[in-house]
Amino acid sequence: MQKYTKAELFESVPVPRALAAMGIPTIISQLINLIYNMVDAFFIGRTGNSYMMAATTVTLTLTMMNVAFSNLFGVGGGSLIARLMGVRREDDAKQVSAYSLRGCLLLSVSWSVVIGVFQEPILRVLGASANTLEFAKQYSILVIVIGSTPAILSLTLAHLLRNTGYSSQASFGLSLGGVLNMALDPLFMFVLLPKGQEVTGAALATLISNVVGCGYLLFAFLKAQKKAPLSLNLRLARGLDRGHVRSLYTVGVPSAMLTGLFDLASISVNILSAAHNDLVLAAMGIVMKVERVPNAINVGLCQGMLPIVAYNYSSGNHERMKLTIRTARLYGMVVSAIAIVLLEVFARPVTNLFLSTSGKDAADAVRTVGYAALFLRIRAVASPFQFTNYHTSFCMQAIGNGKATLLHAAVRELVFYIPIMILLDKLFGENGLAAALPVGEALGAAFALFLLHRILHREHPDPDPE
């Protein structure tokens, strides 16, 4: 792919090429990170133990909170930095980056302490049963209590690098951890640790991979700060203007809430699934991993879109901004359509990849895979609606409209999805629980488009990043 300067990417390169240059690396990193998260489930599934699989479903909601916390300072700070670059205020952007990193470190350490102190009651609330609690504790102590700081810091560094035009470096750092985890998982699970400790082995592999990936991203950040408006000097954070602090949180809080509310919805799914039985919980966990493949592609596309939209919004080039939004929307819809076809056709073999049906627990495993294939076919229909929600939210974050982003997130999850989930589960059981996703996401997407239409059709949007 042809090399462009950062200014050319944001200002003059044809939009499809600019999106490719910014989006392809983020899509690759999203997929590799998804794969290494799925690798844990894949290798645990080789044991044929549905209870181990159910335990990883419970802990997935905790690892998703790492993403929410990184969004607070990564998306909030990164979006503001891109807008400041658009009006040539690089010194202010450096202060924002330092403030973002300081906040990220304080938040990640606090999160680790909370989980360490209240681990067992939190896991029980999330749906862990007597059969799954010990496995869930083995995973969370390493990946969350010990591993949250490198994980959250890695994601935050990647956001800041991406929003200053260093998309390839950000993606490589995240991908490095993913590739390493794929190699370490089978080594720790089936070679170094004794039988029965497969969950601990998967967690240890993930922890080491996150630390290595974080190390590379710190190195890339140090190198980038020589040319980009970035800084690891945390003392710069003290002098950050209050207006910029407010702007950071205006976007960062809704972005974090968006992921946090998504996590709340996942927790609700887990609790309702566990109320049926642990096999339904394990099956739903498999499905939520599989359906994240098209979601990862579309989120990567939206992450590549965000800095281009933010830069052109603040610089006043609203035609290029709108063209970028329309082009990304078209690409995302194509991905979603392909995903529906593939997941409907290959639901059974895909879900069977995640759980062996030939071990001593074969009967439970066969039932689990049967549930998973059915749930996947039902939930796959939600893909275009999910993309619309992601795309619209990223657009609103890019132009600094945190209030609309937060409103969308709250209505999407609290007004539509979770109440519909509870209702359909009560009326139709586990199948109704699966059907709640396309219904809730469709309503959320309609509301999101309404919000974005109102924002983009204001005659004279304020280009000031504050």
Instruction: Determine the Cα–Cα distance for residues 41 and 54; give it in Å rounded to an integer.
Output: 10
Structure tokens at 285: 């966990």
Residues 6+ apart with CB under 8 A from 243: 466
Instruction: Determine the Cα–Cα distance for residues 248 and 77; give it in Å rounded to an integer.
Output: 5
Nearest partner of 438 among 429, 450, 446, judged by Cα: 446
Instruction: Determine the Cα–Cα distance for residues 454 and 322; give it in Å rounded to an integer.
Output: 13
Instruction: Determine the Cα–Cα distance for residues 227 and 220; give it in Å rounded to an integer.
Output: 12
Residues 6+ apart with CB under 8 A from 197: 138, 189
Specify the pLDDT at position 76. 86
Instruction: Determine the Cα–Cα distance for residues 255 and 156; give it in Å rounded to an integer.
Output: 13
Instruction: Determine the Cα–Cα distance for residues 339 and 197; give it in Å rounded to an integer.
Output: 35
CA angle 377, 260, 160 (to 5 degrees): 105
Tens place of pLDDT for every residue, the chain, 466 residues?
A: 456 676 778 888 888 998 888 888 888 877 876 776 677 777 777 776 778 877 877 887 788 788 888 888 888 888 888 888 877 888 888 889 999 999 999 999 999 999 999 989 999 888 788 888 888 898 899 989 999 999 999 999 998 998 887 878 888 888 888 788 888 988 998 888 888 888 888 889 989 999 999 999 999 999 988 888 888 888 887 878 888 888 888 888 877 887 788 888 888 898 899 889 888 988 888 898 888 889 889 988 998 898 888 888 888 888 898 899 999 999 999 999 999 999 999 999 988 887 767 666 678 888 888 999 999 999 999 999 999 999 998 888 888 777 888 889 899 999 999 999 999 999 999 999 999 999 999 999 999 999 888 887 764 444 444 4
In this structure, the chain runs to a length of: 466
Structure tokens at 297: 């592609």
Task: Report how far apart, in Å, the C-alpha atoms of 292 and of each of 31, 32, 38, 108, 109 are.
Answer: 9, 12, 10, 24, 28
Nearest partner of 465 among 56, 145, 6, 88, judged by Cα: 88
Specify the pLDDT at position 361. 67
Specify the pLDDT at position 2. 56
Specify the pLDDT at position 153. 94
Q: Is 464 left (phi over 0), alpha (psi -120 to 50) or beta?
A: beta
Q: What is the DSSP string of 358-408?
A: SSTTHHHHHHHHHHHHHHHHHHGGGHHHHHHHHHHHHHHHHTT-HHHHHHH
Specify the pLDDT at position 466. 42
